[in-house]
């Protein structure tokens, strides 16, 4: 079992924490907003109301023992910069920080972030490239009536587990693998409890006619 912390529980941070927890990891979720902390409480090992720019309070959480810490604070750039700096000083080895722009990303890297997250940009690039120059996994004919495709999740899939979606029964297709962008990971034969995020890439196997039904949902 891996251990993660998520600092900042806006839309991105909330879903990242929830997905990590539902995938069987220990998750500490942190925010200054009590209502956000209460909302994530059922989907975390520990939910904490805390101002992460309080160095001593942050240090007391033992984050240096985590497999990774996601910093997903709001639009106040100085907040994420200070948090990354303090996490580096504490000894956190893997710091994934959400950046607002390129300059913000450069500063975050200098103060300790090991990976930079650009959620909107990454999604826009993936969608644009899939339209203009799809890669080979976007369409691979396996036989006369079977296809293997790579696709972003339809809106109605997001936030639901594979068990809840029950795609084999509803659409007669199989998700044989999932590429996660946050945190970067590749899951072969994902577990039934895996919850799909908008940043995930699904690799789906099925009959051509059934694959078309999935594509029609996008």
> What three-state secondary structure class fits 205?
strand
CA gap 142, 44 in Å, rounded = 41
> Out of 3.10.580.10, 3.30.70.1450, 3.60.15.10, 3.30.230.70, which CATH number does the structure's domain 129-215 have?
3.30.70.1450
Q: pLDDT tens for residues 71-101?
A: 999 788 999 999 999 999 999 999 999 998 8
Per domain, the residue ranges of the chain are 3-118, 129-215
More confident residue, 28 or 210: 28
> What three-state secondary structure class fits 69?
strand
Please list the alpha-helical segments (H only) found in the chain. 11-22, 34-40, 55-59, 77-90, 102-110, 119-132, 162-165, 167-171, 208-215
Domains 3-118 and 129-215 alike in fold: no
| Residue showing tokens 């799909």 | 196
Is the pLDDT at 21 greater than 70? The verdict is yes
Q: pLDDT tens for residues 131-163?
A: 664 544 555 555 657 878 888 898 899 999 999
CA gap 105, 97 in Å, rounded = 8
Q: pLDDT tens for residues 33-61?
A: 999 999 999 999 999 999 999 999 999 99
Is the pLDDT at 68 greater than 80? The verdict is yes
For the domain spanning 3-118, the CATH number is 3.40.50.720
Average pLDDT score over residue span 153-180: 92
């Amino acid at each position: 079992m891996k251990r993660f912390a998520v600092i900042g529980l806006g839309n991105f941070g909330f879903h990242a924490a929830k997905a990590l927890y539902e995938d069987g990891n220990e998750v500490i979720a942190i925010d200054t907003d009590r209502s956000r902390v209460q909302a994530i409480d059922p989907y975390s090992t520990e939910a904490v109301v805390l101002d992460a720019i309080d160095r001593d309070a942050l240090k007391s959480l033992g984050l240096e023992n985590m497999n990774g810490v996601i910093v997903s604070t709001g639009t106040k750039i100085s907040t994420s910069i200070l948090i990354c700096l303090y996490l580096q000083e504490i000894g956190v080895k893997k710091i994934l920080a959400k950046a607002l722009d390129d300059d913000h990303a450069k500063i975050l890297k200098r103060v300790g972030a090991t990976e930079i997250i650009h959620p909107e940009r990454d999604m826009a690039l993936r969608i644009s490239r899939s339209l203009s120059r799809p890669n080979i996994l976007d369409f691979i004919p396996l036989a006369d009536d079977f296809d293997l495709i790579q696709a972003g999740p339809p809106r109605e899939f997001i936030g639901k587990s594979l068990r809840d979606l029950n795609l084999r029964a509803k659409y007669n297709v199989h998700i044989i693998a999932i590429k996660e962008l946050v945190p970067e990971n590749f899951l072969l034969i994902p577990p039934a409890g895996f919850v799909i995020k908008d940043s995930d890439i699904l690799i789906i196997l099925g009959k051509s006619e059934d694959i078309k039904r999935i594509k029609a949902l996008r």
